[in-house]
Amino acid sequence: MWNTVFPYLLSGISVGGQYALIAIGYTMVYGILRLINFAHGDVFMVAGIVMVYMAASGLPLGICIPLVLVITALIGFVIERVAYKPLRTAPRMSAMISAIGVSYTLQNLVLYITGGLNQIYPTIPWISSSVTIFGATTKMVTLVTPVLTLILVVALVWLINHTKIGMAMRAVSRDFETSQLMGIKINRVISTTFVIGTFLAGVASLLYFTNYTTVIQTSGAMPGLKAFVAAVVGGIGSIPGAVVGAFIIGIAENIIKGLDIILFRLGVIKGPMGLATFSDAFTFALLIIILAVKPTGLFGEKITDKV
């Protein structure tokens, strides 16, 4: 039993960590701007593409990796300035539509550059090597991801709770206008939020694509949506919530992928049920259940609407 479940659990934890890093970007942006940044998943994909082209240009990986992270953060910064800043006073729907437009643009741009073909992700030594743990063979990245995720999350929480910019972020997410009146430079805070969010998405792309090995213009859409669901399940605006939500979704998704085999070994079912089809759908079912039962998510704060 354990031998059957363990590999799925392991890859679930790994994918969960990657979703967590993406989900933080969603949850931070939502906390401050009340905007679902639909383009976030595509920024994650673009980070993968940038890495492919960097590595192909012959730069050593030691330079590539930090450069990719910087470029990704820069892309996040530019997107906010170009596509979201002009709409800050517009109705929320406009900003969300703009986000969808950015997502469409990024996907088409990558389609144009790559010609719509699968790009092979460069192999990053050490984290792509195989290891065997408790009888399950996996890539090193599976073990590295949760550790790295936790380190980054702890660092981020420290940043938010103990630095000046972190304090500004908390103030802005609490009350946009008042914090502006208190002399907080709102544009700088928002830009920092985007830079941090996209930087983490860049890290996630390094880990995720090392595992999946190919990048195509649509490969950001699904992880992006799932990470967003993770942020909602955990309670949007809450960083620990996003991390917990991401691990729940990552693990559940991978268990479902192997549910046929697991149930078969347990003797519950006789033949294959094709349940793996639902590994993506489960995420969204969870979303609808959470929204129906506890709309603020596991760790979210209660918001009351004022007339």
Partner 1 sequence: MSNNLQKKKIDSATILSAVIVLAVYALVFLAEQTLPATSMLFTVLKKGATYALVAVSMNLLNGFTGLFSLGQAGFMLIGAYVYGIFTIPVMSRMDVYQYYNGGLVQFTLPVFVAMLLAGLAAAFFAFLIGLPVLRLKSDYLAIATLGFAEIIRALFQWDKLGPITNGSNMLRLFPTFNDFNIRGADGQVTVYLSTLMPLLISGVCIGVIILLINSTFGRALRAMKDDEIAAEAMGIRLASHKRLAFCISSFFAGVGGAMLAMYQNTVQAKSFTTAMTYEILLIVVIGGLGSVTGSCISSFLFVACSEWWLRFLDQKQVLGGFEVPLLRNGFRLVVFSIIIMIVVLFFRQGIMGTKELPDLIRGWQGRGKRQAKGVRSK
Q: Which CA distances in Å does 207 have to 51, 129, 191?
A: 12, 13, 25
Specify the residue, 18 or 107, whose C-beta has the smaller distance to partner 1.
107
Cβ proximity to partner 1, 164 vs 302, nearer residue = 302
How many Cβ atoms from other residues are within 10 Å of residue 71's Cβ?
Answer: 17
Q: Does 307 bind partner 1 (CB under 8 A)?
A: yes
Contact between 103 and partner 1 by CB under 8 A: the answer reads yes
141: nearest Cα among 272, 269, 13: 13
Nearer to partner 1, 39 or 148 (CB): 39
For residues 85 and 226, give the distance between their C-alpha atoms in angstroms, rounded to a whole number: 26
Q: Is 301 in the site for partner 1 (CB under 8 A)?
A: no
**What is the number of helices (H) and of strands (E) in the chain?**
12, 4
x/- track of binding to partner 1 for residues 225-254 (CB under 8 A): x--xx--x----------------------
Distances (CA, A) of 119 to 106, 110, 209: 16, 11, 10
Residues in 260-299 that interact with partner 1 by CB under 8 A: 272-274, 277-278, 280-281, 283-285, 287-288, 291-292, 295
Q: How far apart are CA 222 and CA 120, in angstroms?
A: 19
Q: Please tell me whether residue 1 binds partner 1 under the rule CB under 8 A.
A: no
- With the CA atoms of 248, 251, 255 and 258 taken in that order, what torsion angle do they form, in degrees rounded to the nearest 10? 150
Q: Are 11 and 142 in contact (CB under 8 A)?
A: yes
Nearer to partner 1, 184 or 232 (CB): 232
Query: For residues 178-217, which are near partner 1 according to CB under 8 A?
Result: none
Smallest distance from the beta carbon of 121 to partner 1, in angstroms?
Answer: 21
Residues that bind partner 1 (CB under 8 A): 34, 36, 82-83, 86-87, 90, 92-94, 96-98, 100-105, 107-109, 111-112, 115-116, 218, 221, 225, 228-229, 232, 272-274, 277-278, 280-281, 283-285, 287-288, 291-292, 295, 305, 307
